[in-house]
């Protein structure tokens, strides 16, 4: 079986508008709830640096991680996706 080769390197995604929108959204939601990254870490079991990398647009999330994040923050999944989409041009191909 042939190995899948991506056309983008990981560094191409760092700081992308989509990741910036996700990071800004996470920071807004976390701060609205009065949580620090360490508080979120305690709830989730993930290291605080995990959330820092997301907020700094160095790391994205897959769909399952996003679902968990919404659960940890007690947020509506669909509304959260719409909020992020409204902050970037996710509906237009790059």
For the chain, list the domains and their CATH numbers.
15-86 (1.10.260.40)
DSSP conformational letter for 83: H
Report d(CA 3, CA 34) in Å as an integer: 44
Inter-CA distances, 77 with 28, 70, 86, Å = 15, 6, 14
3-class DSSP state for residue 72? helix
CA 88 to chain centre: 13
The confidence score (pLDDT) of residue 51 equals 97
The confidence score (pLDDT) of residue 2 equals 64
Confidence (pTM): 0.79
Secondary-structure percent of the chain, ordered helix, strand, coil, rounded to 5: 60, 0, 40
Report d(CA 94, CA 33) in Å as an integer: 33
Taking only the tens place, the pLDDT of each residue in 47-79 is 999 999 999 999 999 999 999 999 999 999 999
HSE-CB for 84 with a 13 A CA cutoff: 24
């Amino acid at each position: 079986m042939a190995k899948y080769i991506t056309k983008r390197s990981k560094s191409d995604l760092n700081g992308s508008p989509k990741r910036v929108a996700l990071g800004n959204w996470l920071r807004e939601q976390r701060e609205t709830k009065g949580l620090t990254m360490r508080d979120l870490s305690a709830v989730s079991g993930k290291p605080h640096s995990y959330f820092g990398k997301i907020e700094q647009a160095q790391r994205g999330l897959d769909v399952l991680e996003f679902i968990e994040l919404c659960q940890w923050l007690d947020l509506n999944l669909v509304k959260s996706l719409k909020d992020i989409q409204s902050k970037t041009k996710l509906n237009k191909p790059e």
